[in-house]
Amino acid sequence: MKYETEQALRVKSLVMDVMEELMKDEGERSAQELKQLSELFSRCICDLVNVYTNTSEDHEMTLKGTVIKAKIGYNLMKPSSKMVGKE
pLDDT tens digits, 20-77: 888 886 667 788 888 999 999 999 999 999 988 999 889 899 999 999 999 999 998 8
The amino acid that residue 41 corresponds to is F
Closest CA to 63 of 49, 41, 48, 45: 48
User: Whole-angstrom distance between the N-terminal and C-terminal Cα of the chain?
Assistant: 50
Is there a domain that residue 51 lies in? yes
Three-state DSSP class for 34? helix
pTM of the model: 0.77
Q: How far is CA 32 from CA 28, 39, 43, in A?
A: 12, 11, 17
Report how many domains make up the chain: 1
Residue 69 lies in a domain: yes
- Kindly state whether residue 65 falls inside one of the protein's structural domains: yes
Q: Is residue 11 part of a domain?
A: no
Within-domain flag for 61: yes
Flag whether 18 is in a domain. Answer: no
Question: Taking a C-beta distance cutoff of 8 angstroms, is the pair 74, 14 a contact?
Answer: yes
